[in-house]
Amino acid sequence: MKTVLITGTSSGYGLETARHFHDKGWNVVATMRKPDRDLFPRSDRLRVLPLDVTDPASIAAALEAAGPLDALVNNAGIGSAGAFEVTPMAHIRKVFETNTFGVMAMTQAVIPQMRERGQGVIVNVTSSATLAPMPLVAAYTASKQAIEGFSGALAHELAAVGLRVKLVEPGLGPTTRFAANSDISVMDLIPEAYAGFAQKVFEAYGRQTLTTKESDVAESVWQAVNDMTDRLRYAAGADALALAGAA
């Protein structure tokens, strides 16, 4: 029976992806900073482990507890929106620590065990913001674009040792908590000079008819993990699919 470790499973896409893989019969290691076992059904095929992807000791402990993995899904992330002009550099660095360096750290930590067995797949969850420029998410987009480039390059070198790398690009998820784990509210990053512009942007988001559901992302991750071809990108959600078609 195959085993997947998924980061950031306390809510949203990660939570639904963990449930989806469990329903499909996999062993699931669901990780989050503050473990909540009550989010999942009781099962001997599902474990909930603490993991902070910005902490090397936490990564090592989680991987040791998880044991051999067939798939790693790097889903943990911090959402961030607002005018770049007033976004503190300390906040931007925090976004990159999780969205970019956290993904890299998890990936680097899991490669040896997969390489030794000559099999495994790493799925990095980015964003449809990488498919087309979007306003008020400049720093967030940069953190995700870095992983797009990282994954494309890494896919070539890991293919040489029998491993696969995939990208899943979710669209706008109105039912997710995009910026809930940010320590700065969106409105605190909208100064008066940008208020009129920001209002139009948020109203446009509210009118958007094509969006992404948690189940869309879970299914795309499932597809990516089980696709043995060299395909790299998987847009997830109606809006992301539309952007990918236009890209």
Residues marked as catalytic: 140
Contacts of 11 (CB under 8 A, 6+ apart): 176, 177, 180
> 217 is written with which tokens?
């992302």
Q: Please check whether residue 70 is in contact with residue 3, taking contact to mean a CB–CB distance below 8 angstroms.
A: yes
* Orientation angle between helical segments 214-226 and 12-23, nearest 10 degrees: 50
> 90 is written with which tokens?
């300390």
**Which class for 66: exposed (0-12), middle (13-18), buried (19 or more C-beta within 10 A)?**
buried
Distance between CA atoms of 132 and 67, rounded to whole angstroms? Answer: 38
**Cβ atoms within 10 Å, residue 82:** 25
In DSSP terms, 73 is beta-bridged to: 6, 123
Q: Which residue's entry shows tokens 């065990």?
A: 113
